[in-house]
Chains A and B, each alone.
Chain A
Amino acid sequence: MTSGLWELVLRGVWTTVQLLVLSALLAAAVSFVVGVARTHRLWIVRFVAGVYTEVFRGTSALVMIFWVFFVLPPAFGWQLVPMWAGTLALGLTYGAYGSEIVRGALGAVDPAQQEGGIALSFTPWQRMRLVLLPQAVPEMIPPFSNLLIELLKGTALVSVMGMGDLAFSGNLVRLALQESAEIYTYILLIYFVIAFLLTRVMRGLENRLKPGGGRAPAHEASADEPEPTETTGAGASTRGGVLR
């Protein structure tokens, strides 16, 4: 491979990283807003948030990307820059998965904490900010870390729309060299390295947030496991003895 082709790959890495950061920020914002809305006391708010989750989690990320690229422009007259279109599609889809994580973690906080907040006449917003979230956020980090890896893998989808990310640069190099084993091996390795770095960063974050307050030191472990989410992972059925 020549240095010019490597430059192409590096530019692809940069696009992928940009897209990853932007869509992760959007997804995080969406997860918190929707996840908190699903615990709201008005049923209509819960219902709307639930519909959002089902719709965006139910459809395929690639179909969503196609939709944002091809249907949004004629339907609403918005022609988005590819980077923003990709960010929007990925952020909304993965935000729907993230909202289930937020909801699960909020549901796993001891109800006595919530009651304590009421007894101290905190407003709902104060309860959320000062009591629930500080205890729920550390619980969210491991599932969010998995979701971030899924999002990284999801960013490869935008290459189908011709955006110059890492997977797309791989295709270009393949066409230039008429040889695919080498370049695809490199591309896969680069993705793996990025994923590895992300898990390290998230583990560091987890360790920093671990000693969160508000919990008696005596009861730990099994009691505060997050509520199983529906279509994301293995957690649902693996707790011993729940299913026979």
Chain B
Amino acid sequence: MTWDWTAVADFMPYFWDGLLVTLQALALGSVISFALGLVWALLMRAPSRWVRWPVGVVTEFIRNTPLLVQLFFLFYVMPEWGLTMSALTTGVLGIGLHYSTYTMQVYRAGIEAVPVGQWEAATALNLPVARTWRVVILPQAIRRVVPALGNYVISMLKDTPLLMAITVLDMLGRARLFSQQNFQFTEPLTVIGVAFILISYLASLLLRALERRLAH
């Protein structure tokens, strides 16, 4: 086994570029999945089953099919339908959409865990429906689900390399490009592997601290 430190040094500038793209995709993907997941969760509580049923089927479908194929779908089919987006935008939308079907379940559990008394009190105070959700239910529900949402941010981080398949130059994309140009595969791939472990370990420590703070 040969390990070449100069290859690591040569790779580092590209690594930082890749890290930036990865973190960008992660941040935007998280925002989309948090927002869209809440929308799905609220739609699933709509009174009409003509709303609930289609939303349920669509989200179930998205959750049970591979993100990679969904990315291909967005990347190759959207332009055919006349909607051209950059690769990174496509990837962010794909990740956000895929994970929104997970965060939706998290929100659902959080909303169901709000005690019935809160609903009853809101009714007793004659609060309108929108206000009940906005100031009574959601603040309590979301506080409960922050750690679980954080777990999905970590999962999302580990799915960002998939964007490489649709030509985004994230960490893995950079590593692949570098190794194909220099015929050095060991160093760049190991560097990003270690980077992923470090980032997700740090994130899980942060999350544990957050969880402890929210518990009090």
Contact = CB atoms under 8 A, between A and B. Distances in A.
Given A63-B189, A66-B189, A54 B197 contact: yes
A114 interface: no
B193 A153 contact: no
Interface in A115-158: 149, 152-157
Interface residues of A, number: 55
**Is chain A's binding surface mostly helix, strand, loop or mixed?**
helix
B56 interface: no
Contacts of A160: 68, 164-165
Contact of B201 (A58, A63, A170): A58
A244 to B, nearest CB: 7
Which of under 10, 10 to 19, 20 to 34, or 35 or more describes the interface residues of B?
Answer: 35 or more
Contact of B193 (A54, A57, A67): A67
B64 A234 contact: no
A197 B76 CA distance: 28
Nearest to A193: B64
Interface string B37-75: 000000000000000000000000100111111101100
B147 interface: yes
Contacts of A61: 158
B137 to A, nearest CB: 14
Contacts of B73: 180, 184-185, 188
A64 B64 contact: no
A180 B76 contact: yes
Contacts of B69: 156, 167, 170, 184, 187-188, 191
A160 B71 CA distance: 13
* Residue among A230, A238, A239 with max Cβ neighbours from chain B (10 Å): A238
A242 interface: yes
Nearest to A54: B201
B77 A180 contact: yes
B179 A70 contact: yes
Contact of B176 (A66, A157, A179): A66
Interface stretch (B89-97, B107-115, B121-129): B107-115
A149 B60 CA distance: 12
Interface of B: 1-2, 61, 64-70, 72-73, 76-77, 80-81, 102, 105-106, 109-110, 113, 115, 143-148, 151, 154-155, 157-162, 164-165, 172, 175-176, 179, 185-186, 189-190, 192-193, 196-198, 200-201, 204, 211, 214-215
Interface of A: 54-55, 57-64, 66-67, 70-71, 74-76, 149, 152-157, 159-160, 167, 170-171, 174, 179-181, 184-185, 187-188, 191-192, 195-196, 230-240, 242-244
Q: Which 9 A-B pairs have the closest CB atoms?
A: A156-B66, A238-B109, A58-B197, A180-B76, A195-B64, A70-B185, A60-B158, A153-B66, A184-B73
11 contacts: A54-B197, A63-B192, A155-B66, A157-B162, A160-B68, A167-B66, A181-B77, A184-B69, A184-B76, A196-B64, A243-B144
